[in-house]
C-alpha cells in the first residue's frame, strides 16, 4: 500500500517497501540525488533531510515512519523563483564545499539549527553540527552559519 507523504511541498504516494530507509526512496524512487548516502548507520549525516522541520538522518529512518509527514530535501530549499536560501548563499560566499559530497547534509543541518536558535552560538553550532566532513571544511561551515545568521537577523529587523 502506498505511503502518503509530502516532499518539498508536493504530495506524493510512495510505493517502496515500508522498511526501506527514507534515503533510498528519496534517491531511487523520487530521483532526488542531492541527498547523499555516506554510511548507512546515521554516523555521518550526509543523508540529512528535514522531517516536519527536524533534521533527520534519512538512511536510518524507515519510510513507513514518514507517512503523513512533510519532508524537505536540499532540492526544496530554494524559493519558488529559484533564489537560493540565505544559508546556501552564505555557503557560496564563504566558499565552503571542497568535494561537496557532505554539504547537502551540512546545509540541511545548518538551516534547521538556524530556524531553531535564530543566532546560534559557537557552542550551539558545535552541539548541532555533528555531520562529518572529510575535507575538513568545518571552519568555513562555522563562518557561513555566522554570516547567514547575521543576514537573517537584519532581515527580521527590517520586517518589523
- For other proteins, the binding residues (CB under 8 A) are 16-17, 19-21, 24, 27-29, 31-41, 43-44, 46, 73-75, 77-78, 84, 88, 91-92, 95-104, 107, 122, 125-127, 129-142
Q: Which is nearer to other proteins, 23 or 158 (CB)?
A: 23
- Least Å distance, CB 76 to other proteins, is 9
Separation in Å, CA 59 to CA 21, 76, 84, 105, 156: 5, 18, 25, 12, 34
Q: Which is nearer to other proteins, 6 or 33 (CB)?
A: 33
- Least Å distance, CB 87 to other proteins, is 9
Q: Phi/psi at 103 (nearest 5 deg)?
A: -70, -30
Q: Which is nearer to other proteins, 10 or 78 (CB)?
A: 78
Round to whole Å and give the CA distance between 109 and 92: 16
Q: Which is nearer to other proteins, 141 or 158 (CB)?
A: 141
Residues 6+ away with beta carbon under 8 Å from 130: 45, 109
Q: Are 49 and 137 in contact (CB under 8 A)?
A: no
Residue 69, number of CB atoms within 10 A of its CB: 17
- Least Å distance, CB 159 to other proteins, is 25
- Least Å distance, CB 115 to other proteins, is 18
Amino acid at each position: 500500500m502506498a505511503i502518503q507523504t509530502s516532499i518539498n511541498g508536493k504530495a506524493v504516494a510512495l510505493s517502496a517497501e515500508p522498511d526501506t530507509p527514507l534515503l533510498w526512496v528519496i534517491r531511487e524512487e523520487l530521483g532526488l540525488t542531492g541527498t547523499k548516502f555516506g554510511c548507512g548507520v546515521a554516523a555521518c549525516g550526509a543523508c540529512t533531510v528535514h522531517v516536519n522541520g527536524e533534521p533527520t538522518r534519512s538512511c536510518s529512518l524507515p519510510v513507513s515512519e514518514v507517512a503523513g509527514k512533510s519532508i524537505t530535501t536540499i532540492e526544496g530549499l530554494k524559493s519558488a523563483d529559484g533564489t537560493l536560501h540565505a544559508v546556501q548563499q552564505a555557503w557560496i560566499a564563504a566558499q565552503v564545499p571542497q568535494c561537496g559530497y557532505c554539504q547537502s547534509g551540512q546545509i540541511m543541518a545548518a538551516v534547521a539549527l538556524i530556524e531553531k536558535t535564530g543566532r546560534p552560538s559557537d557552542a550551539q553550532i558545535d552541539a548541532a553540527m555533528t555531520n562529518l566532513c572529510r575535507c575538513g571544511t568545518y571552519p568555513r561551515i562555522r563562518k557561513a552559519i555566522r554570516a547567514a545568521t547575521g543576514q537573517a537577523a537584519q532581515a527580521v529587523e527590517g520586517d518589523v
